[in-house]
Amino acid sequence: MSQANTVARDKPAQQTLPGAAAVRRINRNRLLRPILMFGGVFVVLLATLIFWLTSGRYVGSDDSYVDAAKVSLSTDVSGLVSQVYVHENQHVAAEQPLFSLSQTGFDIAVAGARAQLAQAVLDISAAKRGYAQALAQIGEQKIEIAKDQADLTRFAAVVGNGGVTRSTFDDAQFALSADQAKLDELQQAAGIQLAKLNGDPNIPVENTPEYQNAQAALNNALTSQKDSVVRAPYSGYVTQVEQLQPGMFLAAGTAAFGLVSDTDVFVTSQPKEDQLTWVRDGQSVDISVDSYPGKTWKGVVESISPASGSEFSILPAQNSSGNWVKVVQRIPVRIKITSGPNGFLLRDGMSAEISIDTQHHRHLSDLF
């Protein structure tokens, strides 16, 4: 390095005075600095305010699931499984037979009940004939008693002067007493026959208790026979069919397999309680399902649960202790699906997201 360069490096740099342009630039920077500082804050506040005013209309929740009506099929009668007419995940129509129990026992029960009903008709007809016969016998017996009474009266008038013997008079008394006792027996027999007719000798057979009891037994046997063939209560898809096999004994009330409806499909959502301020029944809902990205279903709010989900848990929270911590509750909301893209099957349990249009608009007055 040369000596001249060393000397030049060691000399302190001389400070140059700023020119007019530099002074103007410095003054402009001093002016812009507070404007940018306070202006930026104002822009952020204004953007936040605009976002707040425009974001209160829609309520969204990703804690939502596709749900459907479902039932565990069973019978109210017991028996051996005879046939299973469907297979796993098969679509079935309403009233379509699903499986049946062995019919032998049910056929025998129906035949026995029909025989009992026929016997009841015969018994009632016999009671009517018996009552009519008893009335005829009572009439004849009353005539016989009247004859006995007349003989006794005639004999009583002449027994004192020897017109008839005392033995004849006594025989007439005994005959009258015997015929009166027989009349009582006939009247009691007629009363028994009349009781079988419910006090009405002209009662229709169908109105008698005996017939109605036999008819009820027949109806019960027919109902059991009908229930031995299980049909789909609504259209849908059967599931877990393989757990039911022919030859198994199925006890009454035991679940056979499941049926999931394909028509009564809805969405159950669990939004937070502070999101439901402006949610009402009938509001429109946009529904998206994770399985079908880009597809949207339309629906309406069908109902809002009167209680939070935690109230139906087996062990609800006890908040009486001193270490209680407030937790935001979730309220179940049922959403009815009204329309959607064709060819996309919604399955029970699918994850979904909803957006409820509450039609509510925030105002500046809400801040104060």
Q: Does residue 5 lie within any of the structural domains?
A: no
Q: Which of 42-51, 230-239, 249-258, 273-282 has the lowest mean pLDDT?
A: 42-51
Which residue did the predictor score with more confidence, 47 or 300? 300
Q: Does residue 248 lie within any of the structural domains?
A: no
Note the pLDDT of residue 270: 93
Query: What integer is the mean pLDDT of 272-278?
Result: 90
Q: Which of 242-246, 269-273, 323-327 has the lowest mean pLDDT?
A: 323-327
268 in the same domain as 191: no
Of 176, 211, 227, which residue is a domain's last? 227
Q: Is the pLDDT of residue 40 over 60?
A: yes
Of 227, 246, 276, which residue is a domain's last? 227
Q: Does residue 348 lie within any of the structural domains?
A: yes
Note the pLDDT of residue 145: 86
The phi-psi region of residue 175 (left if phi > 0; otherwise alpha if psi is between -120 and 50; otherwise beta) is alpha
Q: Which of 65-74, 84-93, 189-198 has the lowest mean pLDDT?
A: 189-198
Give CA–CA dist 353/358, Å, rounded.
Answer: 16
203 in the same domain as 156: yes
170 in the same domain as 129: yes
Q: Does residue 205 lie within any of the structural domains?
A: yes
pLDDT tier, 111 (very low <50, low <70, confident <90, very high otherwise): very high
Smallest Cα–Cα separation from 190: which of 145, 125, 131? 131
Range of the domain at 296: 58-71+264-312+324-362
209 in the same domain as 144: yes
Mean pLDDT of the chain: 85
275 in the same domain as 337: yes
- The pTM of the full predicted model, rounded to 2 decimals, is 0.68
187 in the same domain as 280: no
269 in the same domain as 188: no
287 in the same domain as 203: no
Note the pLDDT of residue 22: 73
The percentage of the chain sitting over the pLDDT mark of 90, rounded to a whole number, equals 49
pLDDT 10s digits, 291-304: 999 999 999 999 99
Which residue did the predictor score with more confidence, 31 or 165? 165
353 in the same domain as 288: yes
Q: Is the pLDDT of residue 45 over 50?
A: yes
Note the pLDDT of residue 367: 62
208 in the same domain as 158: yes
Note the pLDDT of residue 3: 47
179 in the same domain as 65: no
Query: What integer is the mean pLDDT of 299-311?
Result: 90
Give CA–CA dist 270/335, Å, rounded.
Answer: 11
Q: Is the pLDDT of residue 61 over 60?
A: yes
Q: What is the largest CA-CA distance in the chain?
A: 199
169 in the same domain as 110: yes
CATH number of the domain to which 336 belongs:
2.40.30.170
Q: Is the pLDDT of residue 222 over 60?
A: yes
Q: Is the pLDDT of residue 87 over 80?
A: yes
Which residue did the predictor score with more confidence, 249 or 48? 249
Of 175, 210, 227, which residue is a domain's last? 227
Q: Does residue 258 lie within any of the structural domains?
A: no
Give CA–CA dist 61/333, Å, rounded.
Answer: 11
Report the b/e string of 279-303 with b at 16+ CB within 10 A: beeebebebbbeebeeeebebebee
Query: What integer is the mean pLDDT of 104-125?
Result: 94
Note the pLDDT of residue 140: 87
The percentage of the chain sitting over the pLDDT mark of 70, rounded to a whole number, equals 85
Q: Does residue 207 lie within any of the structural domains?
A: yes
Coil, helix or strand at residue 330: strand
Domain count within the chain: 2
Q: Is the pLDDT of residue 237 over 80?
A: yes
Which residue did the predictor score with more confidence, 354 or 318? 354
Note the pLDDT of residue 153: 82
Q: Does residue 114 lie within any of the structural domains?
A: yes
Note the pLDDT of residue 312: 75
Amino acid found at 351: S
Q: Is the pLDDT of residue 224 over 80?
A: yes
pLDDT 10s digits, 17-32: 456 777 677 766 676 7
Q: Does residue 335 lie within any of the structural domains?
A: yes
